[in-house]
Amino acid sequence: MKHSNFLLYLIISLFFSCSQDTIQQKEIGIIPKPLFQELDKGVFIMDEKVLLVSDPKLSEVSDYFKIYLEENYQIEFNAQKGIKKIIFTINDTIPNEEEYELKIEEENIFIESKNARGAFYAVQSLIQLLPLPSDLNSFKIPCLRIKDQPQFTYRGMHLDVGRHFFSVDFIKKYIDLMAKLKMNTFHWHLTEDQGWRIEIKKYPKLQEIAAYRKETLIGHYNDQPHQFDGKPYGGFYTQEQIKEVVAYAKTRQVTIIPEIEMPGHSQAAIAAYPELGCTGEQVEVATKWGVFDEVYCPKESTFKFLEDVIDEVVSLFPGKYIHIGGDEAPKTNWKNCEYCQKLIRKEGLEDEHGLQSYFITRMEKYINSKGKQIIGWDEILEGGLAPNATVMSWRGTKGAVQAAKEGHDVILTPGSHCYFDHYQSENENEPLAIGGFLPLEKVYHFNPIPEGLTDKEAKHVLGAQGNVWTEYMQTEKQVEYMAFPRAIALSEVLWSSPKHKNYSDFIHRLEQYQKRLDQLEVNYANHIYSVKGELINSKGNLAYQLSTTSSSYPIYYSTDKSFPSKLYSTPITVDTSMHIKAVVLDSKETPLGAVFQQKINLHKGVGATIAIDKEPHPAYNAGGKNALINGISGNNKRYGDKEWLGFSGEDIIVTIEFDNPKNIKTISTRFYNGKGQWIYAPNEIGFSFYLEDGKTVNDITILEEKNNLLVNYSYELKSTAVKKLDIIVKNYGTIPEGKQGAGHKAWTFIDEIIIE
């Protein structure tokens, strides 16, 4: 029904017994935190008919809000009376496209914005002020004023559907969860070595062959030998389904960026059309993870294929960008390809890296001719960057700095802070993941502006993105577990002012937000109630300190392997080896998280003085050098926790010195041996023992290569009084051909050094 330039909807007729009690600040804990918010006196109570009034330009947003209320609160609409109003208004004086103003009074709610995007974000803030549909005993909204706008224009989440395929309904749910957090870009990774997921009508074999693999790797890539499930797997999205998803995203102000990988990660396409590769030989769709030599050959017929694919892709996605990948493209086949070598000479290119730049630049020119721009992973910098490309920097921030200094736009997505396929807890029972360790707090403290940029260069930083690679995520529930709540932390990084960021405050708001995730049946990782522990050495006195991210509930503990029953208040004295258990319990003594367990081995090295001649890599140095002699062993399944120390391609010397000479019989440790992640146990370990009588004993031992993920090492000597000892750990060296990371120096990861 129209009246003048407005749409009128009678939206709510609800009667509740609500008091005018003052609403505490904790009840307006919006995520991401608004730029400005001010609490006023009073509340807006939904206790009588309310009229929704909208400028026609904002009708799509007001309709979205109306449908939300209908679906979540089962409201019956009656258009006869309306005393209170919720008013959507265009305000041309608001400068930012995504800015909004929200004012809640006792009789009216006002939403002002420049366009639909700002109005949509105002609605998301308003929704967070509503009670949960399951808790309608107090349907009241605090009177307040909010003025809000984002810090960055690109606020993205990524999802890989190549390794594992997910339903259209789940893709919609994923987009919806993003939109509620005011994220505006969905990076849809549609093609991979393990599966091609987008229908291309001109090339039906992409659907018939490339979309399916004969089986899938079981367990982790590092497990040896590799095992497979023997079950065919696959699927793809039809063009009609993609149009449906794009339209759905549009109503939530989310732009979709499709990724069509080139020249690497293309084995599935080459399996369907072998002539696209350099050898022309038949290959199969990849059945395990990693990087493969099968890449597109830069022949004219290949470019024709890719241009045809792009023609169909651009017709489906109305956004500005097409992502062309460009990462992890081995040059082996190009080096051995006569055509490629002739092309390098013909075009005056320096080498195969120059050929990749030629490939990307040519495809960029074609994509530009279709009115689109390209985004590529930071490998597209190698050999020279295509003229108009935007760089997505994942291998740290170096690529972002280089691209920004060259005048290119950049999007930050470094593995250190934005790879949500990494483990998020040190709990041994965490679901299998690719590796690494990225807890919620580290995501929250991410700064998307890299060091080394001037203010002018920093303007090229469009924003950042969380990446969800799905090698180890077979189900939609697992995707949710890995993405949330880390995506929630990233949303605040990208939207809110750095001045207003406070992790404790964020956790307090997250506790409330997780109740909304419960309502939406999101399988998020609830680690804010997980117990964490730290060994404290105060002048030789050892104690174990327990903590949780949230302080809303108490910690209980035990030291005798029984279920935790003692209320924790002060650090636990450690004067012998012990097995600590701890858990957070609510008022009903129900555990709110997993039971934390920590074994402490009070061996002779604990409390000694330690030095290492090389600094561990910053990404793998959470526990510092003392992690090697604190009585606590690292995780048995992965290397990313604070007990493992990682060194990149270096020999190291660990020196341990005692206050008084110690009689030593054995020295033992272990090394991580995850070859799929470029991590190799050393081949050689040396020792120097500085004895009480002033003599020095030297020895070298050779470790035979083993296929186990963990390589245990033990050195025995006659009981000897030692004042100091050096442990010389020789790096494995260069990774051999045919292995992941071939040609690069291996990583070394070392765990607790146990001295007995």
In tens, the pLDDT along 190-234 reads 999 999 999 999 999 999 999 999 999 999 998 878 999 999 999
Helix (H, G, I), strand (E, B) or coil at 638: coil
Q: Are 394 and 377 in contact (CB under 8 A)?
A: yes
Residue 383 predicted with pLDDT over 80: no
- Report which of residues 40 and 540 the model is more confident about: 40
Residue 705 predicted with pLDDT over 80: no
Dump pLDDT digits (tens) for 75-106.
655 555 567 889 999 999 999 999 999 999 99
Task: Give mean pLDDT, residues 710-719.
Answer: 90
Dump pLDDT digits (tens) for 157-168.
999 999 999 999
Domain 531-600 has CATH 2.60.40: yes
Task: Give mean pLDDT, residues 261-279.
Answer: 97
Residue 49 predicted with pLDDT over 80: no
Residue 725 predicted with pLDDT over 90: yes
DSSP 136: -
Across the chain, what does the average pLDDT equal?
Answer: 91
Which residues are registered as beta bridge partners of 113? 90, 100
Residue 63 predicted with pLDDT over 80: yes
Dump pLDDT digits (tens) for 585-594.
998 889 998 8
Work out the percent of the chain whose per-residue pLDDT is above 70. 94
Put the strands of the sheet holding 6-12 in their side by side order: 2-3, 6-12, 50-54, 84-90, 108-113, 100-104, 140-148, 36-45
Residue 5 predicted with pLDDT over 70: no
CATH superfamily of 2-148: Chitobiase/beta-hexosaminidase domain 2-like (3.30.379.10)
Task: Give mean pLDDT, residues 23-51.
Answer: 79
Helix (H, G, I), strand (E, B) or coil at 578: strand
Q: Are 725 and 663 in contact (CB under 8 A)?
A: no
Dump pLDDT digits (tens) for 117-159.
999 999 999 999 998 877 665 578 899 999 999 999 999 999 9
- Dihedrals φ, ψ of 573, to 5°? -65, 130
Which residues are registered as beta bridge partners of 750? 645, 671
Q: Are 11 and 50 in contact (CB under 8 A)?
A: yes
**What residue segments make up the domains of the chain, in order of their start?**
2-148, 157-519, 531-600, 609-755
Sign of the alpha-carbon dihedral angle for 445, 449, 451, 454? negative
Q: Are 220 and 708 in contact (CB under 8 A)?
A: no
Provide CATH code, domain 609-755. Answer: 2.60.120.1190
pLDDT at 69: 84
Q: Are 206 and 227 in contact (CB under 8 A)?
A: no
Residue 388 predicted with pLDDT over 60: yes
pLDDT at 19: 36
Residue 259 predicted with pLDDT over 60: yes
Dump pLDDT digits (tens) for 642-661.
899 999 999 999 999 999 99
Residue 47 predicted with pLDDT over 70: no
Helix (H, G, I), strand (E, B) or coil at 480: helix
Tokens 């990782």 correspond to 525
Cβ-proximal residues to 609 (8 Å cutoff; 6+ apart), any chain: 656, 657, 658, 659
CATH superfamily of 157-519: Glycosidases (3.20.20.80)
**Neighbour count for residue 41 (Cβ, 10 Å):** 11
Helical segments of 534-575, H only? none
Task: Give mean pLDDT, residues 712-740.
Answer: 91
pLDDT at 351: 94
**Neighbour count for residue 434 (Cβ, 10 Å):** 21
CA 286 to chain CA centroid, Å, is 24
pLDDT at 639: 83
pLDDT at 435: 87
Q: Which class for 497: exposed (0-12), middle (13-18), buried (19 or more C-beta within 10 A)?
A: middle
pLDDT at 737: 83
Cα 582 from Cα 546, distance rounded (Å): 8
Q: What is the rounded (10 degree) CA torsion for 731, 733, 736, 742? A: 90
Residue among 702, 692, 695, 710 nearest 751 (CA): 710
Cα 127 from Cα 124, distance rounded (Å): 5
Which residues are registered as beta bridge partners of 189? 160, 259
Q: Are 636 and 710 in contact (CB under 8 A)?
A: yes
Rg (CA), the chain: 29
Dump pLDDT digits (tens) for 537-582.
888 889 999 999 998 899 999 998 899 999 999 999 999 999 999 9
